[in-house]
Homo-oligomer: A and B are copies of this chain.
Amino acid sequence: MTTGTQVHRVFNFSAGPAVMPESVLEQMQRDLFALPGVGMSVLEVSHRSKAFQAIIDQAVADARELAGIPENYHVLFLQGGASTQFSMVPMNLHTTGMPADYIVTGTWGKKAVKEAKRVGEVNVAATLEAENFKRLPRPEELKLTRGAAYVHFTSNETIQGVEWPGEPEGVEGTLVCDTSSDMFSRPIDVTKYGLIYAGAQKNLGPAGVTLVILRDDLLLRSPEGLATMFNYNTHAKEKSLYNTPPCFAIYAVGLVFQWLKAHGGLAAMEATNQRKAGKLYAEIDRTGFFRGHAAKECRSLMNVTFRLPSEELEEKFVKEAKAAGFDGLKGHRSVGGLRASIYNAFPEAGVDALLEFMREFERTNG
């Protein structure tokens, strides 16, 4: 347990919405009633005001700086989460007359396929569902379409805890990635992608805004007649201000970007995330009492999924952990067991405290 400047806070292992940096929460709290120099809350500021324009411009500039996003990519803040992107991506990009390839490594990839199929032909280039999504496909298992409209994958499957160490091999066309649960947790070479999207509520900030990074030339693909709000051209042209954006969520994400910069950027995040996850996986592997869900070579640094010897012990673990101040450790029902989500903002002290709890639990229940 940690104690904030004001009140008791638990260790929040939730998969998202998830823990945010305490210093960001403190700044938001300090300025919530009235933004300094503005005289109104950021919740009340017009999206057409200079004050808000400065906020969104800074957030875009910081995203560009953090990830080295080139000028021929648009950085957009949209609404509706990754679930809406599951439809917007094919509605805008699945217009070349060729199938779209989807590499399915977990629950979210499956959902993306379901929506894409409503729009056009989908080739599932690989799915690991038969193996309960415990590993990534090997390069030779990928059945890619030559000239596919695009190739979609999910960089980190939040539920299964399976993460790509990099981009899939052998993709020649437009790469599209759902990075919702590991965006900005490590460096990313944006130039390898056509489109990247991420719901904010894991590494980037609160729920209610979706980051979309889109290469400019792909805008030509959007068909005539598409609903204005579902057309990337609308938001690219108006720089996310066609209609009233989720101002507060964008403000919050902007503060997280500044926090990321102040803490060394994405390379520093990756180092910390490797250390945090490394400690947990080492504990999981120590005796065999705990068993990791994902194959070792594709273990997620964000969502550490593991089982105990029995479901009874898993239930007991969750219950006792919660009583000890560790919240959100119950795994998703489709995988079972436990899941520790340890995004950028999750404090290493919380990982260390959980390790102690795990050892003590094994000692008394093993």
Q: Do A207 and B252 have beta carbons less than 8 Å apart?
A: no
The copy count of this chain in the complex is 2
The answer to the question of A296 belonging to the interface, with a C-beta cut-off of 8 Å to chain B, is no
**Known contacts A84-B79, A245-B207, A246-B246, A26 near B17 by CB under 8 Å:** no
Q: How far is the CA of A225 from the CA of B114 in the complex (A)?
A: 10
- What is the CA–CA distance of A34 and B46 in the complex, to the nearest angstrom? 27
Shortest C-beta distance, A301 to chain B (Å), equals 20
**Interface residue? A86 (CB, 8 A):** yes
Q: List 10 A-B contacts (CB under 8 A).
A: A8-B34, A10-B40, A12-B40, A14-B49, A16-B244, A91-B227, A114-B228, A207-B246, A207-B247, A208-B209
Q: Is the CB of B242 within 8 A of A83?
A: yes
With beta carbons under 8 angstroms apart, the residue of B32, B83, B249, B325 that contacts A229 is B83
Does any Cβ of B come within 8 Å of A278's Cβ?
no
What are the 8 tightest A-B residue pairs by CB atom distance, in nearest-first order?
A: A208-B246, A10-B39, A87-B227, A83-B243, A79-B79, A43-B206, A29-B32, A14-B46
- Chain A contact-residue range equals 35 or more
* Closest B residue by C-beta to A199: B244
Is A12 within 8 A of B244, CB to CB?
Answer: no
Q: Does A41 contact B (CB under 8 A)?
A: yes
Query: What 0/1 readout, one digit per residue, does chain A (71-94) give for beta carbons within 8 Å of chain B?
Result: 000000001111110110001000
| A211-230 to B contact mask, C-beta < 8 Å, 1/0 | 00000000000000111111
Residues of A27-50 at the interface with B, using a CB-CB cut-off of 8 Å, are: 28-29, 32-34, 36, 39-41, 43-47, 49
Chain B residues positioned under 8 Å from A328 (CB to CB): 46, 49
Whether A269 is near chain B, meaning CB under 8 Å from some CB there, is no
Instruction: List residues of chain A with CB under 8 Å of any chain B CB.
Output: 4-10, 12, 14-20, 22, 25-26, 28-29, 32-34, 36, 39-41, 43-47, 49, 79-84, 86-87, 91, 114-115, 118, 199, 201, 205-209, 225-230, 242-249, 252, 325, 327-328
- With both chains docked as a complex, state the minimum distance between the C-beta of A264 and any C-beta of chain B, in angstroms: 23
User: Closest Cβ of chain B: how far from A28's Cβ, in Å?
Assistant: 6
In contact, B327 and A244 (Cβ under 8 angstroms): no
> How far does the Cβ of A2 sit from chain B's closest Cβ, in whole Å?
10
Contact of A247 among B17, B26, B87, B247 (CB under 8 A): B17
**Cα(A243)–Cα(B96), bound, Å:** 29
* Chain B residues, CB < 8 A from A41: 20, 25
* Cα A81 to Cα B328 with chains together (Å): 31
In-complex Cβ contact of A32 among B18, B25, B47, B118 (8 A): B25
Residues on the B chain within 8 Å of A86, using CB: 227-229
Contact B87 A228 (CB under 8 A): yes
B79 lies within 8 A of A225 (CB): no
CB pair B87–A230 under 8 Å, yes or no, is yes
Please give me the residue from chain B that is nearest to A249 by CB atom: B208
Q: How far is the CA of A28 from the CA of B199 in the complex (A)?
A: 23
A32 contacts B34, C-beta separation under 8 Å = no
- Within 8 Å by CB of A6, from B8, B33, B229, lies B33
CB distance from A74 to the nearest CB of B (A): 18
- Apart from A80-B80, A83-B229, what are 15 other A-B pairs with CB-CB below 8 Å? A6-B33, A7-B34, A8-B39, A18-B44, A20-B43, A28-B43, A40-B327, A43-B252, A80-B229, A80-B243, A86-B227, A87-B230, A115-B228, A230-B230, A249-B249
